[in-house]
Amino acid sequence: HAQGGQPKKFGELFYDTIDKIIVPADTEVQPIAVNTLLSSTSVLRVFPAKNSAGINQLRNNPFVRKFLKDVCVDEKWGPEMRNNSTKKMDHFCKTNKRFLGGGGKINNVKEILLGLYPNEHMPSDHPPVAATVFINAKKATSKRGNS
């Protein structure tokens, strides 16, 4: 969004997973995909897979990402995405297909952005991470003999 007390963050797209679980290098760990923890009754939802190509275009294409930032800042988007208009961005995506190569068809920017955290399914912008950490268990190390 483009409001609040952190103007350097206005219009920035925070999508990359920055939260990690850190353990000593020799600790045995089994990563857990968060979506495997979710039941049909869980309130938490991960980012919709059907919008992966679209968010990747918004995130990785510098020209498209800059236009998204400009629209967000110029229109002073607020923290409630449902109240922000994406008409300019949708029009841009429909009329500038040459910038959206590699399967980057974007039809509805608002739908994509509504899938990002925070939203009604996750009130924090820090997505969950999960792992099983085996206390006092060390990774097996391979020993190579000299030939």
* 3-class SS letters over 80-131: CHHHCCCHHHHHHHHHCHHHCCCCCCCCCHHHHHHCCCCECCECCCCCCCCE
User: Which pLDDT belongs to residue 69?
Assistant: 92
Indicate the pTM of the whole model.
0.67
> What is the structure's pLDDT at 147?
44
- Write down the pLDDT at residue 60: 85
Question: What number of other Cβ atoms are within 10 A of residue 52's Cβ?
Answer: 13
Cα 44 to Cα 66: distance, rounded to the nearest angstrom: 30
Residue pLDDT, tens place only, 34-56 = 666 666 666 667 778 888 888 88
What digits encode the pLDDT tens for the residues 57-68? Answer: 888 888 888 999
pLDDT at 73: 92
